[in-house]
Structure 1
Amino acid sequence: MRRQVESSGGAVGHRLRHRTRGVVVIGSAVALLLAGCSGDAPESGAPSDPAAAVDGGATSGSGGPDPVDATAGPLPPDDSDVTTAEPEVIELPRGGTEIFPEFRLFGYSGLPGSPGMGRLGIGDLDEKVEEMEERGEEYAGDRPILPVLELIATVVHPVPGADGMFRTYIPESIIQDHLDAARRHDGILLLNIQPGRADFIDEVRHYEKWLVEPDVGVALDPEWAVSEGQIPGRVYGSTTGAELGEVAEYLSGLVEDNGLPEKVMVYHQVHPGVVRDELEMEEFPGVVVIKSVDGIGAPSDKIKTYNLVNETKPDFVVPGFKLFYEEDLVLGPIMTGAEVLGLDPQPEYILFE
């Protein structure tokens, strides 16, 4: 059973009240999307502009050795007409196959038409990505930015739905629009998952046709992962290190099977109780695991949350940090790039909601 968190008193109570209000916003957003949403499997077909397949084969010339006297013994192999094709390397949008330490990830999150769910849901998509890149320069430090569009693709809500899972999938056309935008700006797309009562691994597998692309990863939101009998928004949800490791192992298999560059897997954490037995998570090749700390408040409060939540971070997990345009401005001020980059450990992924 996931640990139930009291919804009154202290910083946790403030956070949960904020997120409960977020559920109301989510409910409104879901109502706008329901006509095109489904709990069924993804539509058939591949995303546009798919990555080139890996060609690991070889071609040989049509000629062979001339006939020889059978009594003369074997001749050394003649491979002068044989050419071996090098496998094509599939790279990240801004080059290379490894995320760090080359890049600093900087992104916006959200859902179109839902301003309360993040900056990415406001206004023209390309204009928001351009704004994001410009804003990100302050937080880049001495590295180039790799832009991130973190799209809320599995949306939690306070009603069970037909399958009783308290979540809805957004239309695939919206995912395609965001992937196209990411590609126009040489960025990556992360599919944010608020699972309700569903299991993370099942929700991630739901998006496999997108995840075999070299520029698509996932962002897991365990505060919305509730158990039987719990309602999202009334309690903090939670996950475990073993569950997160299961997702990482699955993604690692996709990377290996499809010859992909490193794939990003983010998990968001607002409170220590949201991820239990974190050190049980295992590291898998080809997957960059990022822990994004989500605390709301004045800079001093956000720093305290960051330090507290990172006490249980496995060594191989990369640190991340979330800023909030509205809430941090009210309680803030919003932390500057110098303040964020001055955190210890220094965040590698900086996200604005």
Structure 2
Amino acid sequence: MRTRARRRLVALVVPALVLLAGCTAGTGPSPAVTTPTGAPPSPSRTSGPLPIRAVAPAEPAVVVDVTDPVQAALAASRALYAAAPVAVLAAADDTAGQLTAASAAVALGAPLLLTPPAAAASGGVTEPGLAAELTRLRTVAVLVVGPAPAPRGVVVVRLPGGAGGAALTRATGAAFGSTAPVAPGDEAAAVGRLARPRPTVLAASATAVVVGAVAAGDPGPGRTQPVLASPVLAAAEPLVPTLPRTSPPAAVAATVALTGAGTVPPAVLATVRAAGLPLVDAPGADPRATSSAVQALARATPAHVLALGAAFGPGDRLAERVATATTGVELPGGGQLYFPQDEALPGKRYVSIYGSPGTPALGVLGEQDVPATIARAQAHAEPYRALTADTVVPGVEIIATIASAGPGTDGNYSQERPVADLLPLVQAAGAAGMSVVLDLQPGRTDFLTQAQEYQPLLELPYVSLALDPEWRLGPTQVHLKQIGHVDVDEVNAVSAWLAQLVRDHHLPQKALVLHEFALSMIAGRDRLDTSHDELAVVIHVDGQGSQPAKVGTWNAIRQGAPAGVHWGWKNFYDEDKPAMLDPVGTYAIQPTPDLVTYQ
């Protein structure tokens, strides 16, 4: 009886050996395939490859919350795939399995989906959304890597986490590059670098030992490549090695994925790379934040973005930010944010000289010609660079409308300088990489009316706007009889108009500077609108006199200020007593001023 049984066993094993004889040699377990009850039969191997189809996201900007890796993987698949006859599956708590699965997914061009951690998936229960997603994708076969429970109704091919290139090639029919061990914490970066046609075989560093050169993921003679044991690879499983033949999707055109909002699950990155999307790092979840992000988006000119992290949202705001970034136009100091806020990035600070061209009595800016003014502004900024890790940007604040003693021909007690008069200095400052701020002293007219007169200059990316309420008069007032003031509603009207101008022209962020040395100067300041994504609001404290008095004014103005504003400090050559602060003293003011102006 034992002899007959042995012969029958040999008879069963020999065909399997013949089947495997044509496979590429290599160490590690061969893949196993099972067809659950009710599953469709494996597609004919004589038919053409089944096409996998990737698509652009439905909206210009789609934001994926990556807090839950299982749900994030499903969301990425829904956003990027219309059809996937083959998909890849791993368990959410199986790092080794996810790395192997990521390599397979990118090679196939298929989405990588996750089952919940083993404790949540006990008894073979999987994420309910997984079955729905496989149905939507019209999936007929799944490569399951590691101990993840198999979905029902599809052909299942299994591999262990840590499987080598030879086993992956047998299972998928795809080509792979060399094996690379991945250290803990480096999983996302390693997956983000995967690319067809021969993606690297990623393996958790504890499961892969690479000795010398490795060709096509095969350890070769005399080399070893240990793999994690997998409890689902029972010895009795039949050894039929491959998935149905598929053709990978064409890379999704004009679409990029944004990272930079924190850690992204490797499975999500694998799906993104499988669909052919390039990754653009946008620190702080803002594509305008860095020069590298702006220039990467300018090169890609995407029509769609998939943002990986809830901090990027909402989608409509992100779409506006991306549209701005794709212009490639940057602010002085780099990027498109006036004050970058991410702690991982260098900030920006500004040092400017103040006045009106050709008018020495109004400040140091007007005491010399244009080239000398540029040089003087740069010289004022230079000493500050050694005092901060932030980027220090030199600038000019130009009085565009000048408070006048007489009413003038228009009766508004404000002399509006023609745009043509200001243009030479504005353009020279821009060419020198400097910031420009136009200052308005409107007299009896309103700030919005005057701001609109300088729209041609404000359409330049490096030109911002300042409002000086000291010189805003009532209908019967004249200058120097009282301190002027403005109602916050008028300020908010200007900020809304300026934000719309920035948005309409896809300009980098602008500063809206509000001069203030008395709390009465902006009535209703607690209602100041600082919500415009296109603007950075600066309250510029213009106190003069003794240094103790100036510090007192600084502290008083800061009390009760709206959240989100930045702060400016002014040094006066003649009015500060006993003398104006030097750069060290200026930056000793707390909080350190974001903008320092000299008058």
Q: Which interval holds the TM-score relative to the shorter structure?
A: 0.7 to 0.9
Q: Does 1:306 align with 2:551?
A: no
Paired position in structure 2 for 1:346? 592
Distance 2:254 2:354 in 1: 47
Q: CA deviation at 1:94?
A: 3.0
Paired position in structure 1 for 2:564? 316
Distance 1:79 1:159 in 2: 70
Paired position in structure 1 for 2:384? 139
1:216 counterpart (456, 460, 463)? 463
**Contact 2:573-2:579 within 8 A present in 1 as well:** no
**Contact 1:151-1:190 within 8 A present in 2 as well:** yes
1:286 counterpart (534, 537, 545)? 534
RMSD: 2.1
Q: CA deviation at 1:79?
A: 7.6
**CA deviation profile, 1:81-116 (whole Å, cap 9, x unmatched):** 976743333211332011214211110111123222
Q: Does 1:100 align with 2:347?
A: no
Paired position in structure 2 for 1:192? 439
Paired position in structure 2 for 1:253? 500
**Contact 1:242-1:278 within 8 A present in 2 as well:** no
Q: Does 1:205 align with 2:452?
A: yes
Distance 1:203 1:296 in 2: 27
Paired residue secondary structure (1:297): coil
Q: CA deviation at 1:167?
A: 0.9
**CA deviation profile, 1:155-175 (whole Å, cap 9, x unmatched):** 111211222111121122221
2:475 counterpart (217, 228, 234)? 228
- Residues 139, 242 of structure 1: CA spacing in aligned structure 2 closer, same or farther, 3 A cutoff? farther
Paired position in structure 2 for 1:50? none
**CA deviation profile, 1:296-336 (whole Å, cap 9, x unmatched):** 112111111111122132121111001111222xx222112
Give the share of equivalent positions with the same residue, in percent. 29
1:127 counterpart (372, 378, 389)? 372
Q: Does 1:167 align with 2:414?
A: yes
The two structures have a TM-score, normalised by structure 1, of 0.73
Q: CA deviation at 1:198?
A: 0.6
Paired position in structure 2 for 1:265? 512
* Aligned partner letter, 1:299: Q
**CA deviation profile, 1:207-248 (whole Å, cap 9, x unmatched):** 112212111111111000010110012111101222222211
* Aligned partner letter, 1:150: E
Q: Does 1:112 align with 2:357?
A: yes
Greater relative contact order (CA < 8 Å, ≥ 6 in sequence)? 1
Distance 1:226 1:159 in 2: 13
* Aligned partner letter, 1:96: G
Distance 2:573 2:458 in 1: 29
Distance 2:440 2:471 in 1: 9
**Contact 1:218-1:264 within 8 A present in 2 as well:** yes
Distance 1:104 1:305 in 2: 21
Paired position in structure 1 for 2:228? none
Distance 2:523 2:425 in 1: 32
The two structures have a TM-score, normalised by structure 2, of 0.44
Q: Does 1:154 align with 2:393?
A: no
Paired residue secondary structure (1:134): helix
Q: CA deviation at 1:137?
A: 2.8
Q: CA deviation at 1:176?
A: 0.7
Q: Kindly name which structure, 1 or 2, has the bigger radius of gyration based on alpha carbons.
A: 2
Paired residue secondary structure (2:502): helix
**Contact 1:139-1:350 within 8 A present in 2 as well:** no
**Contact 1:90-1:259 within 8 A present in 2 as well:** no
Distance 1:157 1:268 in 2: 18
Unmatched tracts of structure 1, length 5 or more: 1-55, 57-77
Instruction: Write out aligned runs for 1:236-251 (5 A).
Output: 236-251=483-498
Q: CA deviation at 1:281?
A: 0.8
